[in-house]
Amino acid sequence: MQRDAGLTAFDQPLPVEKTLKELGSGWDFGRRIASEYPFTPPTNAWRKYSAGQYMEVFVRDGFIDRYSGRRLVFPGTLRLLSLLLLQEFPFHPNWKTDACHFAFWELFPTIDVIVPVSRGGLDREDNWVSTSMLLNAAKANFTLEELGWSYTSQMTSIVGMV
Identify the pLDDT of residue 88: 96
pLDDT digit string, tens, across residues 59-89: 999 999 999 999 999 999 999 999 999 999 9
Q: Which of 26-30, 125-129, 157-161 has the lowest mean pLDDT?
A: 157-161
What is the mean predicted confidence (pLDDT) over 25-49? 69
Q: Map the chain to HEC letters.
A: CCCCCCCCHHHCCCHHHHHHHHHHCCCCHHHHHHHHCCCCCCCCCCCCCCHHHHHHHHHHCCCECCCCCCECECHHHHHHHHHHCCCCCCCCCCCCCCCCCHHHHHHCEEEEECCCHHHCCCCCHHHEEEEEHHHHHHHCCCCHHHHCCCCCCCCCCCCCEC
* Sequence spans of domains, the chain: 51-147
CA distances to 12, 44, 87, 125, 149 from 60, in Å: 57, 27, 33, 10, 21
Q: pTM, whole model, 2 decimals? A: 0.70
CB 96 within 8 A of CB 77: no
CA gap 66, 72 in Å, rounded: 10
Per-residue confidence at 95, pLDDT binned at 50, 70, 90? very high
Percent of the chain clearing pLDDT 90 (strictly above):
60
